[in-house]
């Protein structure tokens, strides 16, 4: 059997690394079917179209899983809006244009639930068609509009050329191989690293904000497996949310306590309410995904954090930080 090739952009990032985990030689489900190519920014500058096209022509992918993005936590989004907008727009523009040029069979592009409208949706979970019905939260508007444009771009290629360019919309992702930088990381890796340092220095584990905002989290390995289901079995052309159930939504405070418990440091937590909380909640519905893949198992947050911290401690100090 001739294997088809899957090119994963952002191959050294959090979700790219999760794809490496599920595509290892002993995972016969995917290893026998595909050759995986993991593209990192050190190999190709996706903000440069000529480089992107040249790489795609050389790789000759049948499928592309587009994960590459300029990402970060709340404070990176607030402090670097120009970079968050322009770099993401350039990356997405070039990847889709080059994917069309080399005639890929299917492209899966990764969005984020943080790009949904901020208001007035607190009375119901968000669904796929809500994406453009209002402005995003001001704290990440530049990143959000760049990602919304990616969905619009995918739809445009569908309409004009019939390309199978589809968007998945995961909720907050975490797991091994994450970026644990204290300034730029997303909430879970930042809190893990902060708690580790606090314990090393015998200081308070200080959480920025009140801890009250609510989030749904998805373990990175779960997301990689779910994207493979979408790649192989999802026949629609519209976007699809990938997230655990609404009942999995937890507060930042709860997450911080889970992390502190793993470090045996629960007695040293405090909250700095002078810092911004960001968006209070952004609950999404996974009904569409569940109807199609009703047997899919999402890792519980307690189990996922335990595994992530175990990896963090094993790999420290050689983590991204």
Q: Which residues are catalytic?
A: 143
As a whole number of angstroms, the distance between CA 74 and CA 185 comes to: 8
* 70 phi/psi in degrees, rounded to 5: -90, 105
Pair of tokens at residue 10: 């952002």
In sequence order, what DSSP letters do the residues of 298-316 get, joined into one string? PPPHHHHHHHHHHHHHHHT
How many angstroms separate the CA atoms of 256 and 246, rounded? Answer: 20
- Residue 273 in tokens: 């309410």
The four Cα atoms 216, 263, 190, 301 give a dihedral, to 10 degrees, of -10
Q: How far apart are CA 95 and CA 176, in angstroms?
A: 26
Q: How far apart are CA 156 and CA 205, in angstroms?
A: 47
Helix axes 252-262, 187-201, angle to 10 degrees: 40
Pairing of strands 172-174, 250-251: unpaired
Residue 180 · residue 320 · CB < 8 Å:
yes
Cβ distance 5 to 213 under 8 Å?
Answer: no
Distance, CA of 18 to CA of 24 (rounded, Å): 10
Distance CA 284, CA 115 (A): 12
Distance CA 215, CA 250 (A): 6
Which residue, among 155, 153, 35, 157, has the nearest Cα to 103 in the 3D structure?
157
């Amino acid at each position: 059997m001739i294997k088809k090739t899957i090119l994963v952009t952002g191959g050294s990032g959090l979700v790219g690394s999760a794809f490496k985990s599920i595509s290892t030689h002993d995972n016969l489900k995917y290893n026998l079917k595909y050759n995986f190519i993991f593209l990192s920014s050190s190999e190709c500058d996706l903000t440069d179209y000529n480089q992107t096209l040249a790489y795609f022509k050389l790789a000759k992918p049948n499928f592309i899983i587009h994960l590459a993005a300029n990402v970060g936590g709340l404070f990176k989004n607030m402090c670097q809006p120009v970079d968050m907008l322009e770099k993401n727009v350039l990356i997405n523009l070039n990847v889709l244009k080059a994917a069309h040029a080399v005639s890929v069979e299917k492209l899966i592009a990764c969005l984020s639930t943080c790009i949904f409208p901020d208001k007035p949706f607190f009375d119901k979970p968000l669904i796929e068609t809500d994406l453009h019905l209002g402005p995003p939260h001001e704290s990440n508007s530049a990143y959000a509009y760049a990602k919304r444009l990616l969905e619009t771009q995918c739809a445009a290629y569908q309409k004009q050329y019939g390309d199978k360019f589809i968007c998945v919309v995961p909720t907050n992702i975490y797991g091994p191989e994450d970026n644990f930088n204290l300034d730029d990381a997303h909430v879970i890796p930042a809190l893990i690293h902060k708690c580790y340092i606090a314990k090393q220095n015998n200081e308070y584990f200080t959480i920025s904000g009140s801890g009250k905002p609510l989030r749904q989290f998805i373990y990175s390995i779960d997301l990689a497996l779910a994207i493979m289901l979408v790649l192989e079995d999802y026949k629609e052309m519209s976007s699809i949310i990938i997230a655990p159930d609404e009942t999995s939504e937890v507060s930042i405070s709860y997450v911080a306590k889970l992390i502190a418990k793993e470090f045996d440091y629960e007695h040293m937590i405090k909250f700095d309410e002078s810092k911004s909380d960001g968006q209070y909640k952004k609950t999404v519905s996974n009904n569409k995904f569940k109807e199609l893949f009703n047997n899919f198992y999402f890792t519980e947050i307690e189990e996922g954090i335990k595994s992530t911290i175990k990896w963090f401690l094993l790999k420290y100090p050689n983590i991204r930080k």
